[in-house]
Structure 1
């Protein structure tokens, strides 16, 4: 028979060698400036919803697809009282996607007349143009943004132009193989406001830590720790399976990835402080995310794959101090 010692990957002989010298002329390219907290956002900011949700996507060609989305639930109405007021609401959304390695077109049309559009076009290997637009029938509520992204070998730069005389720019640079630092500046011409911000991101194979500071008074920190990643479970079975070892032992495995995340935000202007802790548990057939914050809000989000292209969704958010409870379930069909 074959023992587990012959199955599990062996430790290479070179693991004990000294750490290689850092080549500062060949540093990796950092993540985009606006995505430095993407791991924490994926764990702590899932797409929670209330009511019934159904999403259907149909691929017409390899590059073109149509989508239909239905949401039936409740809408919170602003109120001066402490009580939460909700009214029933429903929404239908029609979408079209065109995906190409150098061109991406995404459009969404809602029943209330709103149109959301996104365009990403690779002008060269290093320069990309992004357009985000939201058009409404109400005057002065339509928005548009043009982004020019440049990707260097160890840095990224972005220039933004938007309506209402908005101008912005950011730059992020890899300082070491694990550390990147950046800065941003923006100007709102219509409101006569400007701001500047700084950020830093430190990441390894097991953790990601970020820090953001802005002249608007915002200080934000986040930390994500990967507890386990791609754990394989081996066991004997009598039936045929997908993989063999020396044609004697069959096995199946489940990829498990567990991450713990936390964030902290301080607003100097309003003196508000919020923090949250959460988890992200990824199995082969499902993904479970949950969090609890300093305001007493507890949330959980489950995505379970029932079949190829069919996912079941469960969403829950409980706000005990405000007595606001949100529960939702849904299904997505299509890839």
Structure 2
């Protein structure tokens, strides 16, 4: 294999310390460390196994119309009613996705508008924008974000509701670096400046360990204030996944803990998720897909300590002239695009 030389146009030899930096960069490249992924997706596998982002109660219906496959363009009508925690709602959404651009927008029956735009400039640089216009005061959001993926690290910068005149807003910077082929360490800093005279800085230290065969992943997040979150995900087989989540708070004013266990079982046309946590809640979700264009969902939760229960029933119907193979490819592309979590709107 031919030896790679440093790029002289980026670090010319006459610059101070350029020779040392180039040798260090070449040594890092020879290690062959993998990209650790983003901090935002640090617990991606655990969240895909647990029910937190999937459980619902009441009735729900999602009607989707696919217009084209390449580029992807579809519209969705979503209905929800009968929930114990949420009022009845209707949402109209549209998605456009090409090789480098992802656009998503939605509006509900109350006039709340949300939008998201991802622009991939190169294979390493991605810029993101997220906006939300709400009828409720304090729930409007504008988030600007840029993500850079290096060969063995990931750097992300965010700004939520920034105001350039007085520099108020929420600013987040995260960095995750592969130390070995299995271990990655990093940090995330959140700087909040709600007014020009008040500010707060919170740092979180991150660790991620991935097995050599990528069958299990363990993560940890620690804050100096006494907050710890640890997760463990294990792929037992091609169809069975297990995940555990532990959250501890040991501050002088509050001591609390929450443990959650969950499992996911994938069949050819269905997915079953089950979850149990230390608060006495037992929940399950079944997604049965009878055809590529029709799916039936049933969600249930029992809280033994509060002696309460929730049940949800839903359907997903897609109208499309695409073939079954194109629909399956579209579903996989949609799942990859949806593996991004929204930044919480400031209260």
Query: Please, what TM-score do these two structures have when normalized by structure 1?
Result: 0.79
Alpha-carbon distance in 2 for matches of 1:23, 1:161: 31
Aligned residue number for residue 297 of structure 1 = 281
Aligned residue runs from structure 1 range 83-122, under 5 A: 89-122=87-120
Distance 1:184 1:138 in 2: 30
Q: 2:321 maps to which residue?
A: none
How much is the aligned-residue C-alpha RMSD, in angstroms? 1.7
In structure 1, C-alpha distance between the alignment counterparts of 2:299 and 2:177, rounded to whole Å: 38
Structure 2: state its 5+ residue gaps: 1-27, 162-167, 319-330, 332-347
Query: How far apart in 2 are the matches of 1:288 and 1:46?
Result: 14
Question: Which stretches of structure 1, 4 residues or more, deviate above 3 A after TM superposition?
Answer: none
Q: CA deviation at 1:102?
A: 0.4
Q: Shift in Å at residue 92 of structure 1?
A: 0.5
Q: Deviations over 1:224-263 (max 9, x none)?
A: 122222xxxxxxxxxxxxxxxxxxxxxxxxxxx1112111
C-alpha distance in 1, partners of 2:77/2:145? 28
| Separation in 1, partners of 2:185, 2:289 | 38
Q: Does 1:31 align with 2:13?
A: no
Partner of 2:224: 215
> In 2, Cα distance between the equivalents of 1:138 and 1:46?
23
Contact (CA 8 Å) 1:46, 1:301: kept in 2 or not? no
Alignment deviations for residues 151-171 of structure 1 (CA, whole Å, 9 cap, x no partner): 111111011111151111000
- Matches of residues 199-214 of structure 1 in structure 2 within 5 Å? 199-204=206-211, 205-214=214-223
* Residue equivalent to 2:241: 259
Aligned positions of 1:1-335 closer than 5 A = 25-44=31-50, 45-62=52-69, 63-76=72-85, 89-163=87-161, 165-190=169-194, 192-204=199-211, 205-229=214-238, 257-269=239-251, 270-334=254-318
CA distance in structure 2 between the partners assigned to 1:277 and 1:293 by the alignment: 6
Contact 1:24-1:176 at 8 Å conserved across structures: no
- SS of 1:35's partner is coil
CA 1:24 to 1:273, structure 2 compared with 1: closer, same or farther past 3 Å?
farther
The whole-number CA distance in structure 1 between the counterparts of 2:67 and 2:103 is 15
Matched with 2:340 is none
Distance in 2 (alpha carbons) for counterparts of 1:143 and 1:95: 18
Q: Distance in 1 between matches of 2:173 and 2:272?
A: 36
1:317–1:24 distance in 2 versus 1, CA, 3 Å:
farther
Deviation at 1:74, TM superposition (A): 2.4
Matched-pair contact (CA < 8 Å) for 1:96–1:108: yes
C-alpha distance in 2 between matches for 1:206 and 1:109: 40
**Structure 1 residues 178 and 305 mapped into 2: Cα distance closer, same or farther (>3 Å)?**
same
Q: Following the alignment from structure 2 to structure 1, what is the Cα–Cα distance between the partners of residues 87 and 53?
A: 21
Q: Distance in 2 between matches of 1:268 and 1:113?
A: 41
